[in-house]
A and B are shown apart, each in its own frame.
Chain A
């Protein structure tokens, strides 16, 4: 398993953390933030030759026409450039083909085949599109046998809770005729209020089923916009590539983020604790400091933790160290689980969850510190439920 930086607005942080701190194994550039003219050029001071071998490009066709588009319009073939009249003439396949050809001509080794946001009420249309793209890629692959082709599967929030839709999707994507090397999976998971990751058991079960089934059927998988709950799924099945991201919009796919400015406003930031298996609000860090219990939640051997948990650090979500703490911790966490044989991972992760629950208990009972909302252990019991549901 390898981790790939899901790059967004502040690409430099991801690039720096790889080249300077050896965090991660590569990058996924998003067309929303990378103008077409930059392909082939230096990016944030790093040479293209050093990037191309370990990078992929997500052309983000799933971004809605209604979005402000970012840099998407700089890709002349991008569907966002088509007006209503043109849309009826130029079908999606033409745009997809152009997107694939751009990546091939630019030297990418792993090609992300762009595709569209898929809602459950258009499943027949989605399947026909998948089959058409499959035929296109079958032809292209004949002259690019050394490249790998990953088909985008964008699962909407109404799709991920619908098990019959997921079963239908998986039946089609694993059909004998599918020629892809793997799938680039982007899941829009609905979340409860004041929760950062999904706890709906249907979402957890269906997410597990997607990765498990594709893996079982011989396809590689890239999980885009993955959040730290990727730890849970890595303990249950093999996933070849998992993205790690800084800001929340890179760890949590949400169509609305492409429709409106959801910068999130001023925030002091969040501290990711490996021991709690959770993000803790910056304000809660100060509470923990006052109660002298920071040490029981801090990440060990993490230079960024050392910086941001120092009492002199002024918290701000726009400081790179805040995010690099997470990048380092999650990269380590995923690889630590993954290096174990599959049959051992579930118990290993169950122990980590129980340790985390124990620490929350110590905070409450011994130190009388209550962490609430997103900082609380709202998610851990759901994770245990999923692990117990799995054979």
Chain B
């Protein structure tokens, strides 16, 4: 197929696309937010075959389609050499687009953290780890409900994981020490706890708790640095999340919710 700048006509016809609201080009795929016969949807066109990551993400959403807080996959289909994935459009913005609206406002930060944990809890209890929690993967609807997207590199209970080139989180800032000083065996639900702790700390204080630059953060992780959060707001919660040693983080999501209550 020639380079895509618009939805090819056959795909438009198939899904009865009437309006295209937004277009994203991530370099790997084109994403369109459209109105179509299924309602408001995200239409993704992959410029190549479905890779391991895409297959995993699609099968994850299909297996968990009754779970609240994650997008629903409506259709997966091949057109010529390209694959199309049609998924539910989560209305609203991702947290990355609007995080300045949260800066320093403790009440809404707490509510946000509670919602993230409530959405993720069923997955953690069944052994699923997101591994790439960050503001861009947290959708917030106009009514405040939270959805988590991009489970492309999640880890499942049978420990199967994707290829080494893909397992690193896309964003260093929110990654846990066991992800950036790679030790795949240590990655667990408590890896996600750390990422949530970073998100909350950033919203509270607009910086990373372990350092200003990547080298400083890496050095802190390598040294198993312990931070004293006693002077911070939500100090108990931050302490439960932001431990370099996995064994020192909260044991269960309920403990995190208790610390936020």
Binding site for B on A (CB under 8 A): 167-168, 170-171, 174-176, 213, 216-218
Contacts and interface: CB of A to CB of B under 8 A. Distances in A.
B246 A167 contact: yes
Given A176-B124, A176-B125, A218 B251 contact: yes
A213 B251 CA distance: 11
Contact of B186 (A171, A174, A213, A216): A171
Contacts of B190: 171
Given A171-B186, A171-B188, A176 B252 contact: yes
Majority-rule SS of B interface residues: helix
The 7 closest A-B pairs by CB, nearest first: A170-B247, A171-B247, A171-B246, A217-B251, A176-B252, A213-B247, A174-B251
A175 B245 contact: no
A176 B251 contact: yes
B247 to A, nearest CB: 4
Interface in B229-254: 245-248, 251-252
Contact of B248 (A168, A176, A216, A218): A216
Interface in B110-149: 124-125
23 contacts: A167-B245, A167-B246, A167-B247, A168-B185, A168-B186, A170-B247, A171-B186, A171-B188, A171-B190, A171-B245, A171-B246, A171-B247, A174-B247, A174-B251, A175-B188, A175-B251, A176-B125, A176-B189, A176-B251, A176-B252, A213-B247, A216-B248, A217-B251
Given A171-B186, A171-B188, 6 more contacts: A167-B245, A168-B185, A174-B251, A175-B188, A176-B125, A213-B247
B124 A213 contact: no
A132 B10 CA distance: 53
A236 B39 CA distance: 61
A175 B252 CA distance: 8
A174 B186 CA distance: 13
Contacts, number: 27
A216 B248 CA distance: 8
Majority-rule SS of A interface residues: helix
Nearest to A127: B185
Contacts of A213: 247-248
Contacts of A167: 245-247
B172 to A, nearest CB: 22
Nearest to B186: A171
Most A CB contacts (10 A, CB to CB) among B185, B247, B251 go to B247
Contacts of B247: 167, 170-171, 174, 213, 217
A72 B125 CA distance: 39
A372 B246 CA distance: 43
A217 B251 CA distance: 6
A175 B188 CA distance: 9
Nearest to B228: A391
Contacts of A218: 251
A56 B246 CA distance: 32
Contacts of B245: 167, 171
A168 B245 CA distance: 9
B37 to A, nearest CB: 42
Contacts of B246: 167, 171
A174 B252 CA distance: 10
A175 B245 CA distance: 13
Contacts of B251: 174-176, 217-218
Contacts of B248: 213, 216
A296 B245 CA distance: 45
Contacts of A170: 247
A155 to B, nearest CB: 14
B220 to A, nearest CB: 17
A176 B120 CA distance: 14
A176 B124 CA distance: 9
